[in-house]
Amino acid sequence: MNWEALGALGEIVGAVAVLGTLYYLAAQIRTQNQQLEKSNDHARAQTSVHINDQALSVFDTLMRDKEFVRIYYKGINNQPLDELEAIQFTSFITRFFGLCESNVTASKAQLSFEGDYELEFLYGNSYLHKLIDTEEGSRWFEEEASAIFSKEFLDNVARFRSDR
């Protein structure tokens, strides 16, 4: 065998080695993508569980505390609240707004499952607007909410509020 034949054979062996390496890399990338998708699904599931826990926590007071139910009823029906009752009622509103903004943040980060929460639904949530359409809720929204929640979130809620 002469040198040219050996060189050609070496090129063929090298090409086969490159193809094998490319195949191996493609298999590794495919496996990595599958693991990444599993990780993303896990993060979405954790976010969903956390948001559901947060929702249960928000309404837990209404389910367990009769005194707060009376305060809530007065607030929703625009009956006069004393100073402490107003603090409790607006704290409930703050917790519900926190839940909604968490949903918006998760949705924007694509951490909620596709189709779980549409941003328009979250900003226009009827219960959220029921709370801020009360006298105490409206005062809270105008005077206090901006110290706690993002301007973007509040602007979108206000936009839906004015469109109704």
78-133 pLDDT, tens digit each: 999 999 999 999 999 999 999 889 888 888 877 765 665 567 777 778 888 899 99
What local confidence, expressed as pLDDT, does residue 110 receive? Answer: 76
Count of domains in the chain?
1
Asked if the model's pLDDT at residue 59 lies above 90, the reply is no
What local confidence, expressed as pLDDT, does residue 164 receive? Answer: 67
Asked, for residue 23, whether it belongs to a domain, the answer is no
Asked, for residue 6, whether it belongs to a domain, the answer is no
Whole-model pTM over 0.75? no
Domain membership of residue 98 as a residue range: 45-163
CB atoms within 10 A of CB 24: 10
Both tokens of residue 123? Answer: 């900003």
Angle at alpha carbon of residue 84, lines to 80 and 161, rounded to 5° = 60
Q: Is the dihedral of CA 105, 110, 115, 118 positive or negative?
A: positive
pLDDT tens-digit readout, 22-55: 999 999 999 999 999 888 888 878 877 887 888 8
Asked, for residue 27, whether it belongs to a domain, the answer is no
| Confidence band for 6, pLDDT divided at 50, 70 and 90 | confident
